Amino acid sequence: MTARHGAPRLPSDAGDAARSDTQTATGAERQDFYARIGHLHMTPLWAVLHALVPPEPAETCVPALWRWADVQPPLAESGTLISAEEAIRRVLILENPALRGQSLITPSLYAGLQLILPGEIAPSHRHTQSALRFVVDGRGAYTSVDGERTTMAPGDFIITPSWTWHDHGNDTFGDGGEPVVWLDGLDIPILRMFGATFAENAAQRAQPVTRAEGSSAARYGSNMLPVGHVARTRTSPVFSYPYVRAREALDTLARHGEIDAWTGVRLRYVNPATGGWAMPTMGTALQLMPRGFAGKPYRSTDGTVYSVVEGSGRVEIARGERREVFAFGPKDHFVVPPWSSARFEIGADDCVLFAFSDRPVHEALGWHREEFLD
């Protein structure tokens, strides 16, 4: 007798014997089987299932802190070793201690500190990766994006959208000139995973300026949009978000609004054309925690990079039995890994933190999870 689709039907006793043989296969027999199917570029799911689908996210990176007092000297030294033009981008990458050699601060994010000296130009190029700039130290530099220039000041958040021409420069000279440092954040690992990394160098060192500074903010940054505007990308048409405006909003809410027990006052940068995140792959936010703030622990699936703008405090980062406490001050940077909790304690002055993560990707694909703990 045969089954409906032609496969031989085993007698019940033979089936029992087959099941018994499978259940009692020796380790050597299984290893021999794995080796034979390995030649076919196959592997058994049951051998790796728990690693692929664990009960909670695996711990893929660790908490880390980069103190400004430690990183500023080598940053300055790098300016004596190589020019911005030769380097293309003079950056010291912030590498997670658990991911050394991979240019990663979390499994999905890249971060680095870029230095540009008075009179320098970092040549124009474009790439498929999206980039953010958050100014850490110094004044007088600029970024140009697709023909519009914006002057950079400490605390400013600036976007370089995917595949847009961009260059950086520092127009300060003489006694008034000063080095400028900003935090670079890019979605390099995400695009690398999808095999979608492309770049192109421009023919000119600096692109022609074709629009007046502030044009994008005038069109899109005053709670108004041009009539007939259609959003063609998920990246904000405003590419420069000045710190002075964001700081004023935080201060007003801190004085007259409710202070969240976990994060203080936290606002996300928004795309005025869509109401969504300012960038499609990286979520950016600014938060103020008042002096003496003692927060509760919070965790989420998106690993987060922090830049300290003002004030000082302590952050306790925990995962399971691991507890790490970092004391931080202005211009320091630290990373909270995915699904690790962070709890903040703030000192004698208000503290402002800039943060970026891959949260927009998590939300768009429906897997973002967060917990507010006691």
Domain CATH code at residue 141 = 2.60.120.10
CA–CA distance from 47 to each of 18, 38, 219 (Å)? 21, 13, 57
Residue 24 lies in a domain: yes
Query: CA-CA distance, 66 to 72, in Å (whole number)?
Result: 10
Same domain, 28 and 75: no
Residue 213: inside a domain = yes
d(CA 133, CA 158) in angstroms, rounded, equals 5
Same domain? For 38 and 156 the reply is: no
Residues 158 and 35 grouped into a single domain: no
CA 98, 73, 313: angle at the middle one, nearest 5?
65
Q: Is residue 162 part of a domain?
A: yes
How many domains are there within the chain?
Answer: 2
Look at residue 58 and tell me if it is in a domain.
no
Domain that residue 171 falls in: 64-372
Phi, psi of 329 (to 5 degrees): -140, -175
Residue 215 phi, psi dihedral angles, 5° rounding? -60, -45
Question: Both 177 and 143 in a single domain?
Answer: yes
Q: Which helix (H) or strand (E) holds 371?
A: strand 370-372
Cα separation, 151 vs 212, in Å, equals 12
Note the pTM of the prediction, 2 decimals: 0.92
Question: Which residues of the chain fall below pLDDT 70?
Answer: 1-24
Residue ranges of the alpha helices (H) in the chain? 12-23, 27-38, 49-52, 68-81, 84-87, 188-194, 215-220, 243-256, 359-365
Which positions ≥6 away from 237 have C-beta within 8 Å?
216, 219, 220, 231, 271, 272, 273
Residue 4 lies in a domain: no
| Distance from C-alpha of 267 to C-alpha of 258, rounded to nearest angstrom | 13
Residues belonging to the chain: 374
Do 244 and 146 fall within a single domain?
yes
Radius of gyration of the chain (CA): 26
Q: CA–CA separation, 49 vs 174, rounded Å?
A: 63
What is the secondary structure of 1-18 as a DSSP string? -B-TTSPBPPPHHHHHHH
Whether 294 maps to a domain, the answer reads yes
Same domain, 114 and 258: yes
Q: Is residue 57 part of a domain?
A: no
Are residues 166 and 307 both part of a single domain?
A: yes
183 lies in the same domain as 220? yes
Q: 3-state DSSP call for residue 240?
A: strand
Q: State whether 120 and 29 are in the same domain.
A: no
Do 255 and 140 fall within a single domain? yes
Q: Which residues contact 312 (CB under 8 A, 6 or more apart)?
A: 327, 328, 329, 330, 346, 347, 349, 351
Residue that the structure tokens 């999206």 belong to: 130
Same domain, 251 and 340: yes
239 and 333 inside one domain: yes
114, two tokens: 């870029």
Q: Does residue 2 fall inside a structural domain? A: no
CB 111 within 8 A of CB 94: yes
